[in-house]
Amino acid sequence: MRDAVDYISRHRVAAVVLFLIAFPWLMPYEALAINILIFGLFAVGFNLLFGYTGMLSFGHAAFLGSGSYFAGMAVVHGSWPWYAAIAAGTLGATAIGLLMGLLAIRARGIYFSMVTLALAQCVYYIFYQADRWTGGENGLRGVKVSAIKLFGVELNFVDPLTKYYIVLAFVALALWFVSRVLASPFGAVIETVRENERRSAACGYDVARTKLVVFVLSAAICGLAGTLRALHLSVVPIDSLHYLTSGHAVMMCLLGGMGTFFGPFVGAAVFLYLEDVVTTWTKHWMLVVGTVFIVFVLFFPRGIWGSILHWVRRGDA
């Protein structure tokens, strides 16, 4: 059992992608599965900063949202092709991440969290007020991508299953990238910053620069998730930028397992699937979510995936 898990851990991206290829057959409808892909990626991007580097940001909605908006505006106002829109969205979110990071990195602990919250709310208001471009409170509508031409083959993006696999292709790429980063020497430095900043600096690592790089990478991943969301829903709702969306990232990471590669994805899947299912039985979804969350914080702080990994590996030193 442990050997199997170790094998999977070493080929974790392939394992995850294989699972995700079969995934739509497990879900009641593809739109939910696509939402899980998108928010899974969002949570993975967030986790890079939170679980691995130990920095709790309350402003990550700014990256998801701006990624959505830049991609959406490229399609709606510029009539850009889909791949240019995705690039625009990701780059735009990365730029905002760089700006926010430069300002936020100097603060520590709860102050860092609050600065990210404040800056993200500023981003929210700017997009809200620029309603000629963004649609303001009504959101940006008409992000229409119907046909995607790839290597001479025309794919129907409106068909749910086709849309799922196209989105999966991007998510898989991003996951591979994250995995490479985490497995690299840089990935090790990230974790030292989480464990003990002072000691890391004493070892000669540029802590501030490390933090900034992770912040920007995290923003880029979340921005990509945002671009995919815009294309999927064909609208960009204004609350993509709101701090409540940032809160969802935190919840999904905790539920799934912070500091693990696949954990946030599991967290996103469980969160969204439960929400879909539970809301058909009861209006009081928030009560369920809150209670589950409290239970996890008290008894399963490693999250679902983290607990599974820990249980499987518990024989190790």
Partner 1 sequence: MSTTRISLSRRKVLLGAAAAATSPFWFNIARAQGAPIRIGFPVPLTGPFSSDAQDQVRAAEVAVKEFNDGGGFRGRMAELLVRDDKLNAGEAATRTLELVEKDKVNFVVGSLSAAVQLSVNSVTKERKIIYNSISQSDAINEVKDWSPYTFHEALNPHITAGAVGRYAFKRFGKRVAFLTADYAFGHEMVRGFQRAGKEFGVETLADVRHPLGAADYSAFLPRIQALKPDILFFCNFGRDLLNSVKQATEFGLKSNTKFVAPVLLYSARSAGGPEPFEGVIGGTSFYWRMEDTVPSAKAFNDKFRKAHGGAVPSDYGALGYGGVRTVLEAVRIAGSTDSDKVSLAMRQLKYDYYKGPQYYRGCDHQSVQSILIIESKSKNMKDKNDVFDIVASEPPDEKYLRSCAELGHKA
Partner 2 sequence: MGEITLNLLLLQTIAGVALGAIFVLLAIGLSLIFGMLGVVNFAHGAFFMLGAYAGVYFYGLTGNFWFSLLLVPLTVGAVGLAVERVLVRPLYGRGLDYPLLLTFGLSYVLVEAIRIQFGVEGYQMGTPAALRGAVDIGIGHFPTYRLFLIGATAAIVLALWLFIEKTRFGLIIRAGAQDPEIVRILGIDIGRVWLLVFALGIAIAGLSGILAAPTRAVTPEMGIPVLVESFVVTVVGGMGSLAGAVVAGLLVGIVYSLTSLFAPEMAEMSIFVLMALVLLVRPQGLFGRTGVFG
Contacting residues toward partner 2, per CB under 8 A? 56, 103, 106-111, 114-115, 117-119, 121-122, 125, 129, 243, 247, 250-251, 254, 284, 286-287, 289-294, 297-298, 301
Q: Are 120 and 62 in contact (CB under 8 A)?
A: yes
In the list partner 1, partner 2, none, the entry touching 137 (Cβ below 5 to 8 angstroms by class) is partner 1
In the list partner 1, partner 2, none, the entry touching 290 (Cβ below 5 to 8 angstroms by class) is partner 2
Least distance to partner 2, CB of residue 56, Å: 6
Q: Which two tokens stand for residue 201?
A: 């600096």
DSSP letter for each residue of 129-161: H-HHHH-GGG-EE-----EEEETTEEEETTSHH
Asked if 203 is part of the footprint of partner 1 (rule: CB under 8 A), the reply reads no
**Count residues contacting partner 1 (CB under 8 A)?**
34
In the list partner 1, partner 2, none, the entry touching 131 (Cβ below 5 to 8 angstroms by class) is partner 1
The one-letter amino acid at 222: C
Q: Are 80 and 92 in contact (CB under 8 A)?
A: no
Q: Which of 67, 92, 97, 139 binds partner 1 (CB under 8 A)?
A: 139
Q: Which two tokens stand for residue 237?
A: 């709702």
Which CB, 202 or 294, lies closer to partner 2? 294
Which CB, 2 or 144, lies closer to partner 1? 144
Mask of contacts with partner 1, 25-54, x by CB under 8 A?
Answer: xxxxxxxx--x-------------------
Asked if 283 is part of the footprint of partner 1 (rule: CB under 8 A), the reply reads yes
In this structure, the dihedral spanned by the alpha carbons of residues 279, 282, 292 and 4, taken in order and rounded to 10 degrees, is -50
Least distance to partner 1, CB of residue 237, Å: 4
Contacting range for partner 1; rule: CB under 8 A; set: 24-32, 187-195, 202-210, 258-266: 24-32
In the list partner 1, partner 2, none, the entry touching 301 (Cβ below 5 to 8 angstroms by class) is partner 2
Torsion-angle region of 151 (φ positive above 0: left; ψ -120 to 50: alpha; else: beta): left
Which residues between 72 and 111 bind partner 1 (CB under 8 A)?
Answer: none
- CA dist 38 and 268 (Å) reads 9
Beta bridge partners of 154: 149
Which CB, 147 or 203, lies closer to partner 1? 147
The one-letter amino acid at 71: A
Give, in order, the Cα–Cα distances in Å from 59 to each of 28, 86, 254, 259: 32, 21, 17, 19
CB atoms within 10 A of CB 151: 4
Helices (H), the chain: 2-10, 12-22, 30-47, 61-76, 82-104, 109-129, 131-134, 160-183, 185-195, 197-202, 207-233, 243-256, 263-281, 285-299, 303-312
Asked if 137 is part of the footprint of partner 1 (rule: CB under 8 A), the reply reads yes
Residues that bind partner 1 (CB under 8 A): 18, 22, 25-32, 35, 131, 136-139, 141-144, 146, 158, 160, 229, 233-235, 237-240, 279, 283, 285
